[in-house]
A = this chain, B = another copy of it.
Amino acid sequence: MNERTEQVTAYGELLQDAICDGLEAFEPTVRFREDRWERPGGGGGRSRVLADGETFEKAGVGFSAVHGELPEAAARSLGAGDGGTFFATGVSLVLHPLNPFVPIVHLNVRYFELNGGADRWFGGGIDLTPIYVNPADAAHFHGSLKSLLDPFGADRYPAYKRTCDEYFYIPHRAEMRGIGGIFYDHLHAVDPADWQAHFALMRAVGDGFLSAYAPLVAAHRADPYGERERDWQLVRRGRYAEFNLVYDRGTTFGLRTGGRTESILMSLPPLARWVYDVHPEPGSPEADTLRLLQPGHDWIPA
């Protein structure tokens, strides 16, 4: 550990605590269960899962800080040639609400150092996967992400929204995983001033999560729904699992380089359905959602 990795690690632990506290406010009885784990090669983490709540059917919020010799497969994937040492820390969450009108959400903020900090960079993002796309909710969510990025420059939100849209496209379904959000990676920071600015961005994203997402939970967790909405939720969760297992870099990289499987797969839905060749009735809310899951939408009204 050096001064940088200590600061980011300390922030990650606080962020995990704050988010778990904020989510538990929606749960009258169920609490997060924490699983502390150590990585054989160095470091470890705290995986927290809340299951079968009144609001969240499954909520996984993970913190980890790991270090050691870079595994060969990881070095290849990072373009780090012969390997060396690495340090990686981050907070990652996926929430699967029970009510189909509350969207699935994903956050990740992370920091890497190679070879004692000779190279170092930040990455992260927040994105939303509604079961039924609600344009007003989408406007709130994207507006909230724009507000937290604007202090870092007006070009940030459009750039990170675009990166997010590119990333969360499912080619084999020809649709987006959800309505996107913001996503950034490889914010390299060799210069200390850059490092401070990137770390401030990480904190803004982390600290801004609850105000972007919690209002949607509050607004919809008691919305009435029936079997039809539940079925559609299970089908959309199947698409979520497909994206994560086939394309998501964090997931596939983690599984193939010996990451901690249970922590990586906390993101998978509590229950998911696969039905052959689903085609919602034209004009239905489900068909409307599929139309809104085509790429190229701007969610903040002009």
Question: CB of A182 within 8 A of chain B?
Answer: no
Residues on the B chain within 8 Å of A238, using CB = 268
Q: How many chain copies?
A: 2
A172 in complex: contacting residue of B261, B272, B273, CB < 8 Å: B261
Contact A173 B245 (CB under 8 A): no
Question: CB of A131 within 8 A of chain B?
Answer: no
Contact A35 B274 (CB under 8 A): no
A261 in complex: contacting residue of B173, B262, B272, CB < 8 Å: B173
Q: How far is the CB of A107 from chain B (nearest CB, A)?
A: 18
Residues on the B chain within 8 Å of A264, using CB = 172
Question: CB of A193 within 8 A of chain B?
Answer: no
Q: How far is the CB of A252 from chain B (nearest CB, A)?
A: 7
Contacts A241-B245, A252-B246, A271-B234 given: A276-B172 contact, CB under 8 Å?
Answer: no
Closest to A277 in B: B262
Residues on the B chain within 8 Å of A252, using CB = 246
Q: Which of A38-53 contact B (CB under 8 A)?
A: 47, 49, 51
Question: CB of A255 within 8 A of chain B?
Answer: yes
Q: How far is the CB of A278 from chain B (nearest CB, A)?
A: 9
Question: CB of A266 within 8 A of chain B?
Answer: yes
Question: CB of A265 within 8 A of chain B?
Answer: yes
Question: CB of A71 within 8 A of chain B?
Answer: no
Question: CB of A10 within 8 A of chain B?
Answer: no
Question: CB of A229 within 8 A of chain B?
Answer: no
Closest to A265 in B: B274
A241-257 to B contact mask, C-beta < 8 Å, 1/0: 11001100000100110
Contacts A241-B241, A241-B245, A246-B245 given: A268-B261 contact, CB under 8 Å?
Answer: no
Q: How far is the CB of A232 from chain B (nearest CB, A)?
A: 14
Residues on the B chain within 8 Å of A246, using CB = 245-246, 252, 255
Can you show 22 pairs from A to B with CB atoms below 8 A apart?
A35-B277, A47-B276, A49-B276, A51-B275, A58-B274, A60-B276, A171-B255, A234-B271, A241-B241, A241-B245, A241-B272, A241-B274, A245-B245, A246-B252, A246-B255, A262-B276, A269-B274, A270-B273, A270-B274, A271-B271, A271-B272, A272-B274
